Amino acid sequence: MSETVPRQRAAITFVLVTVLLDMLAMSIVIPVLPRLVLDFSGGDTAAAAGAIGVFGTAFNLMQFFFSPVMGALSDRVGRRPVILLSNFGLGLDYVLMALAPGLALLFAGRLIAGVAAATWSTASAYIADITPPERRAAAFGMVSVAFGLGFILGPAIGGLLGGMDPRLPFWVAAGLSGANGLYGLFVLPESLPRDRRAAFSWRKANPFGAFTLLARQRQLLGVAAAMLLFNLAQQSLLQVFVLHGTFRYQWSSAMVGLALAGFGVCAAVVGGGLIRPVVRLLGERRTMLAGFACAALGFAAFGAASTPLLAWIGLPVLSLMGLVGPAAQAIQTRLVPPGEQGRLQGANSSVVSIAGLIGPGLHTAVFAWGVSAALPGAPFWLSAVLMLAGLVVTLRVTRAG
């Protein structure tokens, strides 16, 4: 027992570091990828914008189709080889992108990244394997913290490195992924015993087959539907936050970055400090409902904010939406046996990918309409409505208790 506990802690630490470094590696390239695409497009901004849109769609499509495959594969061969494969695969992918002489290889790199970036779903399955059900919400909250910290630090580091050389962030991202994979070879134990593994089936591993797992129980499917609404609402922050801040408040790039960093810090506090006591006080179901309610209020307040000060006040309230994801995952993992945790997380990743495919076009179109109608907060009001819909779905499909 004395050897098992430190080993388990080392494994959890590795998983959290993996999520942090993978998010750091992915977000490091955010400031420089558009610039590289613009160079490859001969300075044509419109053509570059089109290419970047295609890249984003391709990445989400790969996630949609391959996340269930990687999740089901981890149920068959174990979590450890899939996590390590993801690390080394992303490392090689960033090397390819660093060396890419044109758009074709850069596009190929995004396709590979979409396939290899399965760490989130497999890491979640790993956490479910080694954490008692009553502690999973807090553990998933720590995964969210690692994810958020990577998103906060990555763009800043990438911008700094990109100022030296636009290819340098890709090399650094490759080094981070490769080094973490090597580290994992020595410290990461397998979390799924052989007697709990499930047979691999392409019928179950494709995204549509994976959804049959969600459809098996009303509560499982309902929580997934609520999370689809949740992730679709979040897309407004990813797609139009910068445009909204620039247009409505005349924020500089530095101020936009500061606002995003401030939001990220608040989200990290929620994931790392509030999840455990709130779940202990309210339970997973009511924590999820409270997160949806705060998210709806925060989005509505941010959309209505007529001054920068009011917008800043709304961000901490909005960050409380971080209560939703860990509580939802904890509820779902209780409903699935150990041998199907990877398949569950793969299906959930496909749900996120669906939101990633729909959200960009939806929220940018609503923002464009809102600007023309003198309602620039429109996409955030839409997000508030989506969060309220998620609250209603959660209320109806989860069991009180």
Task: Tell me what pLDDT residue 1 has.
Answer: 41
Average pLDDT score over residue span 163-168: 84
**Most confidently predicted of 121-125, 217-221, 229-233:** 229-233
pTM (global) more than 0.85: no
pLDDT in tens, 8-33: 667 777 788 777 877 776 677 766 77
Helix axes 275-304, 308-319, angle to 10 degrees: 150
* Superfamily of the domain at 1-186: MFS general substrate transporter like domains (1.20.1250.20)
Average pLDDT score over residue span 346-369: 84
Q: What is the 3-state secondary structure (H, E, C) of 358-393?
A: HHHHHHHHHHHHHHHCCCCCHHHHHHHHHHHHHHHH
pLDDT in tens, 287-316: 999 999 999 999 999 999 999 999 998 889
CB 359 within 8 A of CB 239: yes
Q: Of 3.30.1460.30, 3.40.1390.30, 3.40.50.720, 1.20.1250.20, which CATH number belongs to 213-401?
A: 1.20.1250.20
> Residue 218: which residues within 8 A CB-CB, separation 6 or more?
397
Helices and strands (DSSP H and E) totals, the chain:
17, 0
Average pLDDT score over residue span 312-333: 91
Q: Is 252 in a helix, a strand, or coil?
A: coil
Which of 67-71, 83-87, 146-150, 253-257 bottoms out in mean pLDDT, i.e. has the lowest? Answer: 253-257
pLDDT band at 210 (very low <50, low <70, confident <90, very high): low
- pLDDT of 2 > 60? The answer is no
> Residue 373: which residues within 8 A CB-CB, separation 6 or more?
none
- CA distances from residue 23 to 127, 134, 343 in whole angstroms, order as listed: 17, 27, 22
Return residue ranges of the chain for CATH 1.20.1250.20. Answer: 1-186, 213-401
Alpha-carbon distance of 95 to 172, in angstroms, equals: 9
Which of 53-57, 137-141, 298-302 bottoms out in mean pLDDT, i.e. has the lowest? Answer: 53-57
pLDDT band at 264 (very low <50, low <70, confident <90, very high): confident
pLDDT band at 45 (very low <50, low <70, confident <90, very high): low
